[in-house]
Structure formats: C-alpha cells, structure tokens
Structure 1
C-alpha cells in the first residue's frame, strides 16, 4: 500500500484525499464549476470519483491531492498528477472549488505537484489537458511556463488542448520562480 505524501507551499497544504472530503467533493461535482472536469455529477458518481482518486495513487504511484488553505484549514480544491488509461502521458491538473479562484492557488499548487513529479516520481515530461473554453486553466498553464503544444481528442471529454510543461532540466536552468 502506498503512502500519499503531504506537500506544503507558502499558503497551501496538499494532502491525501479521504472519505471526510466526500461532502465537499459532492458539492463541487454537483455544481456547474465542475463542467470542465467531468461534472456535473451525482453523489453516487462523486463517490466513484473519490475512490478513483485514491486508487490512482495505488495503481500509478502518484495522484492528486486535496488542497487546503493552510491558515484557515478550508478545502479549496484538488491538484496533482493524473494518468488514467486513455491519456497520452502524465498530466498535472487542478480543480478549484467555488470562491478559490483568482488567488494564485492553482499556480502555487500546480508548481508543487510538478516539482514532486520531477523530483520524487522521476517523470521527465508533463502535460496539462485543457478544454478549449477553459481559459482560466490555460492562463494557469501559461503562468507555469507551459505552452499549447497540440490537440488531443479524449473518448469521453472530446477536444482538449495539450499544454506542455517545461522539462526538469529547463526548470533547473531558469529556476522554479521563472515559471510561477
């Protein structure tokens, strides 16, 4: 059984998903805010999504974290690494809950997840898959130094943009701060 690490940034704590997150996730996935990440969905489907998030860690050795604002303890989203069957390569992605956008949280947590992917997991490349209409997510990609590399059609989610992140050696040359 894999142990999911806890990561911290200046303002955020990235921690393992747990059953105690079910109500928060259910509210998010029931909202229109989840439209770019498979929602809206019912509580039953949210349960399956939570189990998938936890299981991804076991199957791949990496996954997504629940993100808490450290100072308040408020859960603000889910960020991390994702590579289910059917994805072209490992992704770093972010889902922010209502009221958490516009504060730089996705960029901050995305940079921490990417550093973990390159430093701890040993990945050498990462992408972010973005629905063409999801301009806020594309802006986060750009702030992280990623660029629109190509397009990809997913069997369930349709047309997606592939945003390519700088490789570990490119980040080492320019430093993480150059892309955050």
Structure 2
C-alpha cells in the first residue's frame, strides 16, 4: 500500500522511514512525552511500535505518519488515524517531541488528520481518547470542535479515558 504524504502550513505528514528510528526511539523514551500515552519504550519496543504504525496502514488503510517540520526537515513526532482493538471508532492520535510543544503543531496535525479521515477514509464520528489529566490535548480537541462524550475505563489505567468526538463534515 502506498502511504500518502500530506502537508500543512508548517509540517509534512509522511510515511515512516528506517532513518526515523533514532528520533522515534528518543521520543518514546522520554517520560514527558509518554506520560499520557503509555510506558516509556526502549529502542527495541519503539522499533516494534514504528513497525505497528506501518502495519496499521496495511491492515486498516490508514494509520500514523511521521511528522517533520517543512522548514528544517526535523522529525517532530507522529500523528494520524488509528483503530486499535478493542476500540471500534477511528481515533486521531499524536505525540510530539518536547521542542515542538507550544507551537500549535498538535492542532495542525489533528486538523489535517481529520480532513483525511473525512475525505479519504470516509470516517464519521472520529474520536480522540484522552486521559482526563491531559489538559493540553483536551484543549486541542475542543478547539477543533470535539465534544466530550463520556469516559471509558481501561484496564491498567488509574484514571478514566475521556472520549472526545469531532464534528462530521457538513
């Protein structure tokens, strides 16, 4: 399957490449990045995660992209669409390296991922699953029109995951 490359004003969402492994592994090893996502990953676990991202495209027809800055070509994170078991909804998910925080990149990649979800995938009722204590991600979702739809308890999580649903087009 050919994974498309998308652009925003300042970013490129592109397929992962082997030369992303070092930057991706460093991001996934950073406790500040992973505090709302999951366990910190060593290099081997990060490599498996990257492989899962690529496999998601082949199994579902959509998945996460690597994010790079258009101006510098620097790897700044991952974003895209996922539908992991046991969830049944298409989800917009992202992670950014700390140097990319506070620049509006999250809003940019979520908005572009939503457009792809609606226009290409044909998804409706796209969601974001956000830990209740992740105020920054909640702000991003709400600024893009998402509405809180309830909590989902996930085994192993100390706090509930809040489900935010984005508006459908039209």
Distance in 2 of aligned mates of 1:71 and 1:46: 26
CA distance in 1, matches of 2:101, 2:82: 21
Offset of 1:157 from its aligned partner?
4.5
Instruction: Give the ranges of 4+ consecutive aligned residues of structure 1 lying more than 3 Å apart after TM superposition.
Output: 155-158
Q: Which runs of 5+ in 2 are unaligned?
A: none
- TM-score for both structures, normalised by structure 2: 0.94
Deviation readout 1:7-28 (Å, 9 max, x if unpaired): 0111110000122111111111
Which whole-Å CA distance do the structure 1 matches of 2:19 and 2:157 have between them?
28
Equivalence for 1:77: 77
- CA distance in structure 1 between the partners assigned to 2:17 and 2:37 by the alignment: 19
- Any idea what the Cα deviations from partners look like across 1:151-180, whole Å, max 9, x if unmatched? 1122354621001100122xxxxxxxxxxx
Residue by residue over 1:20-39, the C-alpha shift from the partner in whole angstroms, topping out at 9 and shown as x without a partner, is 11111111111112121123
Aligned length: 168
Q: CA deviation at 1:68?
A: 0.6
Map 1:17-36; keep pairs closer than 5 Å: 17-32=16-31, 33-36=33-36
Aligned-partner Cα distance in 2 for 1:54–1:135: 29
Partner of 1:165: 166
Secondary structure at the counterpart of residue 62 of structure 2: coil
Deviates more, 1:54-63 or 1:148-157: 148-157
CA distance in 1, matches of 2:157, 2:49: 15
Inter-partner Cα distance in structure 1 for 2:18 and 2:156: 26
Matched with 2:154 is 154
Give the 3-state SS of the residue equivalent to 1:94 in structure 2.
Answer: strand
Contact 1:81 1:90 in 2 (8 A): yes
Q: Could you say what the CA RMSD is over the residues aligned between the two structures, in angstroms?
A: 1.2
Distance 1:20 1:156 in 2: 33
Gapped regions of structure 1 (runs ≥ 5)? 170-180
d(CA) in 1 for partners of 2:74 and 2:39?
22
The 2-side partners of 1:156 and 1:167 are apart by 31
TM-score by length of 1: 0.89
